[in-house]
Amino acid sequence: MRVTRVLFLLSALALLLPTHSEAQFRRNTVPTIPPPTITEYNPRSTLVVPEHEVPRAKFPAVDLHGHPPTLNNPQAINLVISAMDELNLQVMVQARGSSGERLTSQIEAVRAAGYEDRFVFFTTLNLRNVGPGSGARIAAQLEADVAAGAVGIGEIGKSFGLGTRKADGTRLQLDDPELDIVWETAGRLGIPVFIHTGDPSEFFRPLDLENERWLEMALFPNRQFNDRSRFPTFEDLMAERDRLLAKHTNTTWVLAHMSWYTQDLGKLGELFDRFPNVHGEVGAVLYDLGRQPRFARAFFEKYKDRILFGKDSFQPDEYPYYWRVFETEDEYFDYYRNYHAFWQLYGMGLPDDVLQALYYGNALRIIPNMPTAGFPG
């Protein structure tokens, strides 16, 4: 018995040792010249492999997470349309949700420009100072905006859950019962709710030298959510969100940024298995998909009816990185934003049926009254 325990301890020690000595090595070995800083060191790759740039998506795409400028004038509309034409973006969802006159002025301007087949509009919810009666008031505004042409809600920003306060000064929790009527109304109207919750889990962790997002957190202090006196943990926030989903299983949900679960797709799979009405959107998480091309491809194949294309910030020259990761099997190529990721990307080589679901099929299915012109019949 005692021998077994000693052996067990020894093998546990052996498991610990490599990590320990590796850390010692890094700490004790001093370069003979002063090392560059994290922002200076930028080695170029010497790897020579086939390259396939993809300036246009293989199939016409819907950008569910569109943040174009306000589309209330022909100049803005034409600028966005010419970028969309080059990228093979057939429809953009204006996900900078707007309500009332800001919504209708854009719908009218797009129609006047003859592009009603290229843009659809989501509405927004005023979630500030929620108190008794707020839910009914917000639901009424939602009904009015949908009657005026909105086909979804969102993007609901991350401040819902992280910062938004109730009228009584407390944090508005994602599953606050006052808002139940709003989510039920969305379900009854058959429109999707596009919601961004939290941020990458590293933003909630200590800003130490093992944090994968050290540089981004140092560049943008407002992305640090690790002060426990101000913010819930990542896990608590997601649990709160899951209670919201569990209450509203007749509402169609799209979780922005794949719920920030792309560094643990298994967890996202569990969520998809638990809630058939829940979908994920791929904006701004390409760095995670492109570092696990085989696992991510298997995931996209398994859940092909649940994942939608979206880009987030409107930078036309960044879309082709998405096409390249999704469509090619290219290896070890640059990503467009170095503070997101200290690594290179690999192509997932998705098959056509998965690409079609990702690019437009799922969007045409879950968003009501989508224009169908321009998509393969």
- Which residues form the interface with Zn ion (CB under 5 A)? 155, 312
Number of alpha helices (DSSP H) and beta strands (DSSP E) in the chain: 14, 9
The residue number with the shortest CB distance to Zn ion is 155
Q: CB nearer to Zn ion: give 118 or 257.
A: 257
Q: Is 46 helix (H, G, I), strand (E, B) or coil?
A: coil
Instruction: Report, in Å, the least distance between residue 213 CB and Zn ion.
Output: 18
Q: Up-side HSE of residue 170: CA atoms within 13 Å toward CB?
A: 6
A 10 A CB-CB count for 369 gives 10
Least CB distance to Zn ion at residue 174 (A): 17
Least distance in angstroms from the C-beta of 101 to Zn ion: 22
In the bound state with Zn ion, the residue whose beta carbon lies nearer, of 54 and 156, is 156
* DSSP result, 186-247: HHHHT--EEE--S--GGGGS--STT-TTHHHHHH-GGG----TTTS--HHHHHHHHHHHHHH
Q: Rounded to the nearest whole angstrom, what is the least distance from the CB of residue 234 to Zn ion in the complex?
A: 19
Q: Is 275 exposed, middle or buried (0-12, 13-18, 19+ CB in 10 A)?
A: middle
Which residue, 129 or 313, has its beta carbon nearer to Zn ion?
Answer: 313
Output 336 or 342, the one with its CB closest to Zn ion: 336
Supply the DSSP symbol for 331: -
Shortest separation between residue 312's beta carbon and Zn ion, angstroms: 5
Instruction: Give the DSSP H or E segment for 320.
Output: helix 319-327
Among residues 240 and 281, whose Cβ is nearest to Zn ion? Answer: 281
Closest CA to 135 of 123, 146, 143, 127: 127
Q: Which is nearer to Zn ion, 97 or 232 (CB)?
A: 97
Q: Return the number of the residue (312 or 330) whose C-beta is nearest Zn ion.
A: 312
The answer to whether 50 and 18 have CB atoms below 8 angstroms apart is: no
Side-chain half-sphere CA neighbours of 1 within 13 A: 0
Q: Smallest gap, in angstroms, from Cβ of residue 69 to Zn ion?
A: 14
Closest distance of CB 323 from Zn ion, Å: 20
Max distance between CA atoms of the chain, in angstroms, equals 84
* Tokens of residue 133, six digits: 């009666």
